[in-house]
Amino acid sequence: MPPMHKIARKLVHTLANAYKLGSKSQGSGSRRYTTLYKTQSTFATAIDERKINAILKRTTLFASAERSTAKWDPTRTAHGVKKHKDGDVVGGDAKEIPSDNRGRMMLEKLGWRSGMGLGAEGDGMKVPVFAVVKAGKSGLG
């Protein structure tokens, strides 16, 4: 098959598997392509459009209309996680842990209540831990 994007290759592999064909991607970068081949379990069959549509609906690439219409955001990874830049403060805006959280339940059994600080006297840390992102590879000192 001609070189194609990794999303299209994944779809080709999924369809090949459904029709019991072997598939293998080769090459690198923009020249990566897929080869399809017969296996012992491959059988002659007509293409079943219902089967292909069912596969497309199950495939995460096409499962959500939101994903297909979403615009590319360079600050997010493929999984939708925000990428942080050097110097960004993370964790400072963390929400309060829900009351059904095991750790919170353990703290409450020991006498801790919402708004109290940590520690024996309750005067310890009251805000979430935050960190400053260090993206560079140089030393800390």
Over residues 10-42, the pLDDT tens digits come to 888 888 888 888 889 988 888 888 888 888 887
Among candidate residues 84, 77, 91, 82, the one with its CA nearest the CA of residue 133: 84
The pLDDT score that the predictor gives to residue 67 is 45
Predicted structure pTM score: 0.37
Neighbours of 12 (CB within 10 A): 19
User: 1 lies in a domain?
Assistant: no
Q: Residue 88 sits in which domain range?
A: 77-136
**What pLDDT band is residue 63 in, cutting at 50, 70 and 90?**
very low
Identify whether residues 103 and 124 lie together within a single domain: yes
Identify whether residues 91 and 109 lie together within a single domain: yes
Identify whether residues 58 and 38 lie together within a single domain: yes
Task: Tell how many helices (H) and how many strands (E) occur in the chain.
Answer: 4, 4
Coil, strand, or helix at residue 89? Answer: strand
Over residues 69-98, the pLDDT tens digits come to 455 555 666 556 677 777 888 877 778 888
Question: Which DSSP string do the residues of 109-123 spell out, in sequence order?
Answer: HTT--TTPPSSSSS-
140 token code pair:
């800390």
Q: What is the mean pLDDT of residues 91-109?
A: 85
128 token code pair:
């979430």
Higher pLDDT, 133 or 47: 133
Q: Where are the alpha helices (DSSP H) in 1-141?
A: 6-18, 49-58, 65-69, 102-109
Mean pLDDT over each residue of the chain, to the nearest integer: 76
| Side chain identity, residue 62 | F
Task: Tally the domains of the chain.
Answer: 2
Domain end marker among 50, 69, 88:
69
